[in-house]
A and B are shown apart, each in its own frame.
Chain A
């Protein structure tokens, strides 16, 4: 199935690039969505079977793949709306959808890959496809965004590659040839710890560019800001998940060895710095889209904290990342409509959103509640469990620091969101405001409701999959 999926992806991308017909383009996108769902359902039915030598669907892979399938549908719908609003040329439309399909396929393959080198190849492909999406508008700001993104990602994949080289040195003494995650994990007690340490350090640093943690988070912020909002939604969900799965798999190997404690300290430092950076920017940021991007950085920091402290924290981290995949895109999808009303990203130019687009305003309000993890948000459950894990593992000072930082984030986030919703805008010409179709907000409601449903009344299979995925970590 994976082979067919890859072939279909290449074929559809090629056709989108060559052909210029509107109806043909959208037919291809619909066919791709069907194939993507077929892949998701097929892989769900064939858990833990090896395909094409390098791919093996495990619990974590299928969880992230199915969330990707769900997010892909509204992403394509909002891309369609975005493209039709902007009078794009057929060529730029074809390129946009081809790049988006390439990005989605590369992310799904990275989730399913069981071999670190194969994961790395798909990480490279995401850089390529994401850069096409960022450069969609072809102006100087987009150019700046794409330049920074490409350069930092190029350095990050070099780091991952160096990590893989060190990993191969660590395996050399053990006499392991096969670099699949399973084989490395099974031979953990033979690995050379010195090289494993170096490998973990480099691979972790490399993946921070994708997941959005200190030190390499900067590239992602500019990317989400300059890319069209539907693409930004994908960057802040499925692309970050890809970074997560990379770190998770290498940490799963490390967690069985003696250097587990050292590795968890590294992750905790990076996580706290990320939350700190997010706090600093979110308390004084004036660009709505960048604010959403920084909010993602904060959530990834929390996820990494859960992963590092272990226990219930690992379960909560996976739950958090799945729920975040639904919450953050809904805010990004809604941003498109905010922009259509005010023609600005700046918080100074917006206001009274309830008056101009009531349905959208409710989405923003619910999205704010969800993203700041206030009940009844689904993220409340996962964050609560992560705090519990921090408490149980006696990381009290970290817990207090994180709670203070999160409070400040809620304040910063809330100030801007309430300004957008309730206070009047400074200058606005009400005649020029277009009427926003309430149907454009339906997908956001569905995603937010899904996040709440999965957190408060999770289906048994969902819980079992997360538990199964969490067993990878010692």
Chain B
């Protein structure tokens, strides 16, 4: 069951690579949040109840509801256009993302370890690299933030793989999530709208040598 969920999770990434509208990205993020909830619920059996509740809160309330809703609010407030504005055509994006997944599968097949479920490893690494790819291949700042959230989801999957033995690390991961999202979105991105009329990354390109 976990495998099915994780594979679905990876498929959403393929979908993300060809999405044109920012709302589609957000819907995918919400979907990923729910999948993560499912995976957590099935995987973490040895963990105490308080920790479990904390993790469930993080996946459902934070990842699937609060952050996407907040981004929607920001988009409305700053009247950001709906296009994702990629630098590359969608077809090429799709090929690159597929290649990333294939490469991580090949990489992980080289790993010989009893302690780690390889599906988790593949999904986490492909999430990480696809998140980085989304950041460099999209023009708007808001899509950079979405790329970062994709990376966070990947890291969360990796944390789940070690979560049963080391719940402390999982809690740290949750802290990272909340800290970074609050910092990037809450404090900062809100300000961006006050200073800039159109939060386009081109306007933040003057600091250079």
Interface residues of A (CB under 8 A from B): 117, 120-121, 124, 127-128, 131, 135, 138-141, 143-148, 150-151, 154-155, 157-158, 161-162, 164-165, 168-169, 172-173, 192, 194-195, 222, 225-226, 281, 284-285, 287, 290
B175, A121: Cβ atoms under 8 Å? yes
Which 9 pairs of residues, A with B, have the shortest CB-CB distance?
Answer: A144-B204, A154-B180, A222-B207, A172-B115, A281-B209, A144-B207, A168-B162, A143-B195, A165-B158
Q: CB < 8 Å: which of A148, A150, A164, A285 contacts B207?
A: A148
Q: CB < 8 Å: which of A121, A147, A285 contacts B141?
A: A147
List B185-200 residues whose CB lies under 8 Å from chain A. Answer: 187-188, 191-192, 195-196
| 14 A-B pairs in the complex with CB atoms less than 8 angstroms apart | A117-B169, A128-B179, A131-B183, A131-B187, A139-B195, A141-B206, A148-B207, A151-B184, A154-B184, A161-B173, A168-B162, A192-B113, A194-B113, A226-B207
Q: CB < 8 Å: which of A140, A148, A150 contacts B195?
A: A140
A161, B115: Cβ atoms under 8 Å? no
A172, B204: Cβ atoms under 8 Å? no
> Which residues of A lie under 8 Å from residue B195 when comparing CB positions?
138-140, 143
B179, A124: Cβ atoms under 8 Å? yes
B128, A131: Cβ atoms under 8 Å? no
Assembled-state Cα–Cα distance A135/B192 (Å):
12
For residue B15, give the distance in angstroms from its CB to the closest CB of chain A: 23
Asked if B63 lies at the interface with its beta carbon under 8 angstroms from chain A, I say: no
B141, A164: Cβ atoms under 8 Å? no
> Which residues of B lie under 8 Å from residue A151 when comparing CB positions?
144, 148, 184
Looking at B116, B180, B188, the one whose CB has the most chain A CB atoms below 10 A away is B180
Interface string of B26-64 (1 = CB under 8 A from A): 000000000000000000000000000000000000000
Which residue of A has the minimal Cβ distance to B171?
A: A117
> Which residues of B lie under 8 Å from residue A120 when comparing CB positions?
172
A158, B115: Cβ atoms under 8 Å? no
- How many interface residues does B have (CB within 8 Å)? 40
Q: A117-B168, A147-B188 are in contact. Are A158 and B155 (CB under 8 A)?
A: yes
Q: CB < 8 Å: which of B113, B152, B206 contacts A169?
A: B113
B188, A158: Cβ atoms under 8 Å? no
> Which residues of A lie under 8 Å from residue B169 when comparing CB positions?
117, 164-165, 168
B209, A169: Cβ atoms under 8 Å? no
> Which residues of A lie under 8 Å from residue B4 when comparing CB positions?
none
B165, A172: Cβ atoms under 8 Å? yes
Assembled-state Cα–Cα distance A147/B152 (Å):
18
For residue A232, give the distance in angstroms from its CB to the closest CB of chain B: 14
Assembled-state Cα–Cα distance A121/B172 (Å):
8
Which residue of B has the minimal Cβ distance to A282?
A: B209
Assembled-state Cα–Cα distance A71/B48 (Å):
46
Assembled-state Cα–Cα distance A305/B155 (Å):
31
For residue A386, give the distance in angstroms from its CB to the closest CB of chain B: 27
A164, B172: Cβ atoms under 8 Å? yes
Which residue of B has the minimal Cβ distance to A294?
A: B209
Asked if B159 lies at the interface with its beta carbon under 8 angstroms from chain A, I say: yes
A154, B183: Cβ atoms under 8 Å? yes
Q: CB < 8 Å: which of A143, A155, A161, A290 contacts B209?
A: A290
A158, B159: Cβ atoms under 8 Å? no
A157, B207: Cβ atoms under 8 Å? no
> Which residues of B lie under 8 Å from residue A138 when comparing CB positions?
195
Q: A140-B196, A143-B191, A165-B159 are in contact. Are A128 and B172 (CB under 8 A)?
A: no
> Which residues of A lie under 8 Å from residue B166 when comparing CB positions?
168
A285, B209: Cβ atoms under 8 Å? yes
Asked if B111 lies at the interface with its beta carbon under 8 angstroms from chain A, I say: yes
Q: A117-B168, A285-B209, A290-B209 are in contact. Are A162 and B158 (CB under 8 A)?
A: yes
Assembled-state Cα–Cα distance A140/B206 (Å):
10
B172, A161: Cβ atoms under 8 Å? yes
Assembled-state Cα–Cα distance A284/B209 (Å):
9
Asked if B176 lies at the interface with its beta carbon under 8 angstroms from chain A, I say: yes
Q: A151-B144, A162-B155 are in contact. Are A169 and B116 (CB under 8 A)?
A: yes
B162, A225: Cβ atoms under 8 Å? no
A144, B206: Cβ atoms under 8 Å? yes
Task: Identify 9 new A-B residue pairs, CB closer than 8 A, beyond the known A161-B155, A162-B155, A168-B165.
Answer: A121-B172, A124-B176, A138-B195, A144-B204, A148-B207, A150-B184, A155-B151, A158-B151, A195-B113
> Which residues of A lie under 8 Å from residue B116 when comparing CB positions?
169
A143, B192: Cβ atoms under 8 Å? yes
A169, B115: Cβ atoms under 8 Å? yes
B207, A131: Cβ atoms under 8 Å? no
